[in-house]
Structure formats: C-alpha cells, structure tokens
Amino acid sequence: METFNWHKEAEKNWDDRADFWNQSSEERWEHGNRKTIVPFILKHIPKGSYIADLGCGDGSFKLHEAGYRVIGIDFSKEMIEKAKSRGENEHLQFLQGDLTKLPFPDETFSGAMAINSIEWIEKPLEALNEMRRVLKNGHLLCVGLLGPTAAPRMHSYRRLYGEPVICNTMMPWEFEKLAKENGWELVDGEGVYKSRVTEKLVASLSTELKQALTFMWLFMLRKAE
C-alpha cells in the first residue's frame, strides 16, 4: 500500500479545487468572511511594505490594491497559474513554493500574511518557523486561523475513523500558545463571524468566548528579536 504523503495530497486537493476557489474567493474578500482582513492589516503594517502572501489567492491582489508590494506563494501549481493569468507587475508577483521551505533569504520581508494556510500543513510549526526566518526582526505577520464554527474544519473529520486527513484543526488558543512559545509576540486579535453573530452580541464577551464563536480568528504577531 502506498504511503500517505500529506504534502502531495494537499497539493492535489488545492489543484482540484482551484476553479471552484477562484470563482468564490473574490466575493469573499470583497463582501464575505474575508472583507475585514485587509483593513486589519492596514491598521498595523505600513503601506509600501514588502509582504509575502503565504497560501495566496485574491488576498494578494487586495493587498496590492491597498498599496503594498506583494509576492504570493502557494504549493498548488494550478492556484499560481490562475493568479499569474490575472496579471503580474513589478509590485505583484506569484511563485509556487512550499511554506515549510520558503525560497527566500533570511529577513526578506517587512510583513507577511497567512490566511487559512497553516491548517493545511502537516507540521504547522515548521511553517511558522519559516515565516519567522524570512520576516525582518520586529516586523509583523497576520495569520487567519479557522475558528470552531468554520465548515472547512470538516476536512479533518475522517481522522476520527483513523483515516489520514490533510487539515489540522487547531483551536485559536492552541495556535496562539504555539506562536508565543516559538519567538512571536501577540500584538492584536480580531474575530471573523458568521452573519448572525453581531458586534453587539460579542462586545461584552472575553477573548476566549469570542474565539469560540468565530468562523476565523485573525492574529497579528510580531517577530521577537
């Protein structure tokens, strides 16, 4: 029996889903559950910064439109080809690559974004360490992690039957602890919620309870020197 290869299976999954994702992704960044991400980044990372979009898609274009220099990296050849077909320029480029073995020198970037990409990596800490390596000291990484109410978490369900899966279902508190133990400082956090969860509903809740209701939790992390 062929040995299960997480990376190869994940790459195939995203190659197969490239058409579907490209049809729905722009709407999510414009009006859906990703519309608050770029404003969150703009609060913390100065325009003009050189940002790596790690696990890329429409977010790279939105960052570019917001005034950043961007390179998008993804392990899916199909996702990269679709991004390239929409156009590149001197401030917006795309590259196929492994987030656990980024093809850049140390301290290349003045900012980074990884939205729902760490969950698709077999050993998330390896990716987090690589992100830290290529980011300049004292600079910021925005991570979007699937929250408890996110439907994509179903991709890890079959693990309960002992079957291999390609999605890590970390809780937001687990990722925060992992980051803090490995050279990152928490700067800010923000929830992304489904439509029935209103600001009024969550306003008085603790961070722990806010995270429990999220579709996605956004972390802003600083690389500690």
- pLDDT for position 6: 77
- pLDDT tens digits for range 190-199: 999 988 898 8
Residue with tokens 């325009």: 47
What pLDDT sits at residue 18? 57
**221 strand-pairing partners:** 141, 186
pLDDT at 57: 77
Distances (CA, A) of 170 to 118, 174, 177: 9, 6, 11
123 DSSP 8-state letter: S
From CA 21, how far away is CA 15, in angstroms rounded? 10
Cα dist. 58→26, 54, 161 in Å? 6, 12, 35
Domains and CATH numbers, the chain: 6-223 (3.40.50.150)
What local confidence, expressed as pLDDT, does residue 78 receive?
Answer: 85
| Residue range 24-47, pLDDT digits in tens | 566 666 656 788 999 999 999 999
Q: What does the H/E/C string look like for 26-86?
A: HHHHHCCCCCCHHHHHHCCCCCCCEEEEECCCHHHHHHHHCCCEEEEEECCHHHHHHHHHC
pLDDT at site 22? 57
Q: How confident is the model at residue 15 (pLDDT cuts 50, 70, 90)?
A: low
pLDDT value at position 14?
59
Q: Give the whole-angstrom CA distance, residue 34 versus residue 41.
A: 12
The pTM of the full predicted model, rounded to 2 decimals, is: 0.90
